[in-house]
């Protein structure tokens, strides 16, 4: 029963931290749009936290450059378990338009494990909410 309670709580209270690895900022603006009255992801209990130590979900936008790789790893290691990473936008999934560039890794998942991918360039807020609810379902199942 306690495990059920914990998994319910985890599903209902995803706190989000947002990390930009060098995107063109369009994806970041769409993430911000999710907080506005029109989309309002606080319905799911999601709050955007500044400190990575408070967060459960890391939203990564943009292509991972060689310079930002170490910072991304460090941020990821500072998160408390259980932690989930979501790659937001085509750049974060595969490198997008910057793919095959000399200083770009092919996607976030070549650096840290990723649980969910949200595609689009830039992603639509509806799409982010869809990905978030998919992730929440997955969190509920994995417990």
Residues engaged in binding ligand SF4 (CB under 6 A) = 23-24, 26-27, 61-62, 89-91, 96-97, 121-122
| Nearest to ligand SF4 of 108, 139 (CB atom) | 108
Q: Which does 96 bind (CB under 5 to 8 A by kind): other proteins, ligand SF4, none?
A: ligand SF4
Q: What's the closest the beta carbon of residue 20 comes to ligand SF4, in angstroms?
A: 8
Hunting for tokens 């309002």 — which residue is that?
Answer: 40
CA-CA distance, 37 to 58, in Å (whole number)?
22
CA-CA distance, 31 to 17, in Å (whole number)?
11
Check binding of 134 to other proteins (CB under 8 A). Answer: no
Check binding of 141 to other proteins (CB under 8 A). Answer: no
CA-CA distance, 116 to 68, in Å (whole number)?
21
If phi > 0 it is left, if psi is from -120 to 50 it is alpha, else beta; for residue 70 that is: alpha
Check binding of 140 to other proteins (CB under 8 A). Answer: no
Q: Are 46 and 17 in contact (CB under 8 A)?
A: no
Hunting for tokens 């991972």 — which residue is that?
Answer: 64
| Nearest to other proteins of 60, 91 (CB atom) | 60
Question: At 16, is the secondary structure helix, strand, or coil?
Answer: strand
Q: Which does 49 bind (CB under 5 to 8 A by kind): ligand SF4, other proteins, none?
A: other proteins
Residues that bind other proteins (CB under 8 A): 5-6, 8-10, 12-13, 15, 36-37, 40, 42-45, 49-51, 53-54, 56, 78, 80-82
């Amino acid at each position: 029963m306690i495990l059920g309670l914990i998994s319910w709580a985890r599903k209902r209270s995803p706190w989000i931290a947002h990390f930009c690895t060098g995107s063109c900022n369009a994806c970041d603006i769409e993430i911000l749009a999710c907080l506005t009255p029109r989309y309002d992801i606080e319905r799911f209990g999601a709050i955007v936290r500044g400190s990575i130590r408070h967060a459960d979900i890391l939203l990564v936008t943009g292509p991972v450059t060689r310079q930002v790789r170490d910072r991304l790893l460090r941020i990821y290691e500072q998160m408390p378990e259980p932690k989930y990473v979501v790659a937001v936008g085509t750049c974060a999934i595969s490198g997008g338009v910057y793919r095959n560039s000399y200083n770009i890794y092919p996607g976030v998942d070549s650096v840290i494990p990723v649980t969910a991918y949200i595609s689009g360039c830039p992603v639509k807020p509806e799409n982010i909410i869809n990905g978030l609810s998919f992730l929440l379902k997955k969190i509920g199942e994995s417990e």
